């Protein structure tokens, strides 16, 4: 954040001579530094990280066994995907007990050991908070569905059938596309923005909010260091559930349901209440999964003066290139010019206040190298290193998904039976019911939509199952684990893994890469993304070739005395022409 400007009082005579009228000079106050601004966040998908007991599912003890590896990366924070009690309809994002551990993952004693082991190594732990919805097997919902006068009835959103069908709301993981599910026990419909086993909690009920705040405080008193908040912009609802016409959706919400979901009354009242009741009491990180968040609304979440959250992450970047909608195919010829504009525009959002994030992959996305780079053997390593350079040289807290540090790629499964994700299976069923092209759908999942591309087990070594498990994994290991694995890369000083470690160290040793002003260069260049970072008289130039061919750049910067900080080729280019997928970072001042 850049604090308020300080006005210098200029001598009157000097002002009269040089200014018409007198203009006050500006000097920037010191930057407000925070540990979560300077952190590199490493996301662990526990189900796929490391299996300790041979049941084919990653677990907490598996993570504990790899804490020294995690520490060796140089990262500061681990974001752990949900490990709470859950029937696992959506891989833990359907929580049945917020203060218990999923049996497949271990016990609360295992969690306590994990937290202790991380803190002993100077690592912080951020949990995944899922409170837009719960599991339908949570005790609250089990009670809620029993009768219309049950004390827990208003913990969820119900619509009595005698009023007719409720106005349409989409359900993301449903073959019929509906966010309402009929429940015959009380002759009513309940709301679920996602799968029918994930009923939406009623945040308009103060009892629900207090239950959630109590639970959050319980985890913080345990010693965790923050929450990543799943679809938190969706928590507030207009409980009249009015009909939303296409015209209204187009005119008010850019034609997007996620923007409508994130625009309902009381959202920011609830987040401010959460801050007061919980977050303000601890020195912790809070990040919104910014579904439906726009550039025009982002500061409503993270402006420090509003006392809500620390940061949020947008979907504009990861949505780039989808031909039609959420599940569909990727256009391999996505525009780098548009990519640059997206990230430059979002940087501008936080230029004066607030703080942003930067990421290219996570558990909901295809693998970073396959999506934004080139996963062919010829270019995989170069493009992976180039993308790492981007993530760790941009302004904002970088979020890095486990496995991307070794350049893991999409699994590219050939049959629907290999997929496990609720989202992919629902879309396949919908296409099957409507006579869609199922063969083409499978092909499209190899490059674009399938979340399982990012969820295949971590490739630790070249042994059977990639060293992830001694038995058949819950999801197939990528066949390329024989040559692409952490053990092999750890020994190779020029590997993707060791480049990641070097880049993390470079960021930490150069505050200009954390707090420095970002300026885009050669914006219309269709092949190269270049920008400078500048802070306290120091200036760094970052040049990234996103193409599989040589490309030229017009920096208009004198590079005669430039000093190479890092590059992903043995011999870096001089800055006038970059090799395929080349990354070069230069100190130029």
* Catalytic residue positions, numbered: 230, 289
**3-state class (DSSP) for residue 93:** coil
Nearest to 374 by CA among 580, 585, 584, 583: 580
Q: Distance between CA 282 and CA 285 in Å, rounded?
A: 9
What is the tally of helices (H) and strands (E) in the chain?
20, 22
Nearest to 56 by CA among 1, 112, 105, 119: 105
Question: Could you tell me the CA-to-CA distances from 295 to 47, 311, 349, 394, 523 in Å, in that order?
Answer: 33, 13, 6, 18, 20
Contact 236, 157 (CB under 8 A): no
Q: Distance between CA 104 and CA 175 in Å, rounded?
A: 28
Question: Could you tell me the CA-to-CA distances from 505 to 361, 383, 492 in Å, in that order?
Answer: 21, 20, 18
For residue 44, what are the β-bridge partners? 80
Q: Distance between CA 118 and CA 296 in Å, rounded?
A: 37
Torsion angles phi and psi, residue 129, rounded to 5? -100, 120
Provide the Cα torsion 402, 513, 312, 268; round to 10°: 150
Contact 110, 209 (CB under 8 A): no
Q: Distance between CA 58 and CA 80 in Å, rounded?
A: 12
Nearest to 419 by CA among 381, 449, 399: 449
CA geometry: angle at 341 spanning 339 and 343, to 5°? 75
CA geometry: angle at 292 spanning 289 and 297, to 5°? 95
Which region holds residue 158: left if phi is over 0, alpha if psi is between -120 and 50, else beta?
beta
Interacting residues of 320 by C-beta distance below 8 A, sequence separation 6+: 334, 335, 338, 339, 342
Name the token pair of 450: 């399938």
């Amino acid at each position: 954040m850049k604090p308020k400007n300080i006005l210098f009082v200029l001598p009157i005579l000097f002002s009269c001579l040089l200014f018409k009228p007198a203009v006050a000079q500006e000097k920037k106050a010191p930057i407000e530094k925070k540990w979560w601004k300077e952190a590199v966040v490493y996301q662990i998908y526990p189900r796929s990280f490391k299996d300790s007991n041979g049941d084919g599912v990653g677990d907490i003890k598996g993570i504990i066994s790899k804490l020294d590896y995690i520490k060796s990366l140089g990262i500061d924070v681990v974001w752990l995907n949900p490990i709470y009690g859950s029937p696992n309809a959506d891989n833990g994002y359907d929580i049945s007990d917020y203060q218990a551990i999923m049996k497949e993952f271990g016990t609360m004693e295992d969690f306590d050991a994990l937290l202790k082991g991380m803190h002993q190594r100077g690592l912080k732990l951020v949990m995944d908070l899922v409170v837009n919805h719960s599991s339908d097997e949570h005790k609250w919902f089990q009670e809620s569905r029993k009768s219309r006068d049950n004390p827990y009835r208003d913990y969820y959103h119900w619509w009595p059938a005698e009023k007719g069908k409720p106005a349409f709301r989409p359900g993301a993981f449903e073959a019929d596309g509906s966010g309402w599910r009929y429940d015959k026990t009380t002759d009513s419909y309940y709301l679920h923005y996602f799968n029918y086993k994930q009923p939406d909690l009623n945040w308009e009920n103060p009892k629900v909010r207090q239950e959630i705040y109590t639970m959050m405080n319980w985890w913080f008193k345990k010693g965790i260091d923050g929450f990543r908040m799943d679809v938190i912009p969706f928590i507030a609802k207009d409980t009249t559930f009015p009909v939303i016409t296409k015209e209204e959706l187009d005119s008010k919400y850019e034609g997007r349901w996620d923007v409508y979901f994130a625009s309902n009354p009381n959202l920011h009242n609830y987040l401010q209440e959460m801050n007061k009741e919980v977050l303000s009491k601890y020195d912790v990180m809070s990040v919104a999964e910014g579904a439906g968040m726009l550039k025009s609304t982002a500061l409503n979440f993270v402006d420090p003066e509003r006392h809500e959250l620390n940061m949020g992450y947008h979907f504009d970047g990861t949505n780039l290139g989808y031909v039609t909608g959420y599940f569909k195919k990727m256009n391999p010829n996505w525009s780098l010019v548009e990519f640059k504009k997206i990230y430059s525009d979002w940087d501008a959002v936080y230029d004066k206040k607030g703080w942003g994030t930067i990421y290219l992959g996570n558990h909901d996305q295809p693998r970073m190298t396959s999506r934004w780079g080139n996963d062919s053997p010829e270019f995989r390593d170069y493009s992976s290193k180039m993308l790492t350079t981007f993530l760790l040289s941009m302004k904002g807290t970088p979020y890095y998904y486990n496995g991307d540090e070794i350049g893991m790629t999409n699994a590219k499964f050939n049959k629907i039976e290999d997929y496990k994700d609720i989202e992919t299976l629902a879309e396949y069923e919908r296409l099957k019911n409507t006579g869609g092209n199922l063969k083409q759908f499978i092909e499209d999942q190899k490059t674009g939509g399938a979340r399982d591309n990012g969820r295949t087990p971590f490739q630790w070594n070249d042994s059977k199952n990639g060293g992830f498990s001694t038995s058949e994994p819950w999801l197939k290991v990528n066949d390329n684990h024989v040559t692409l694995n952490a053990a092999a890369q750890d020994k190779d000083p020029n590997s993707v893994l060791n480049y990641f470690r070097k880049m993390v160290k470079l960021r930490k040793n150069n505050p200009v890469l954390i707090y420095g002003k970002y300026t885009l260069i050669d914006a219309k260049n269709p092949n190269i993304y270049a920008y400078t970072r500048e802070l306290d008289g120091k200036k760094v130039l970052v040049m990234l070739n996103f193409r599989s061919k040589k490309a030229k750049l017009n920096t208009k910067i004198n590079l005669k005395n430039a000093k190479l900080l890092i590059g992903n080729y043995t011999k870096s280019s001089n800055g006038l022409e970059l090799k395929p997928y080349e990354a070069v970072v230069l100190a130029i001042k």
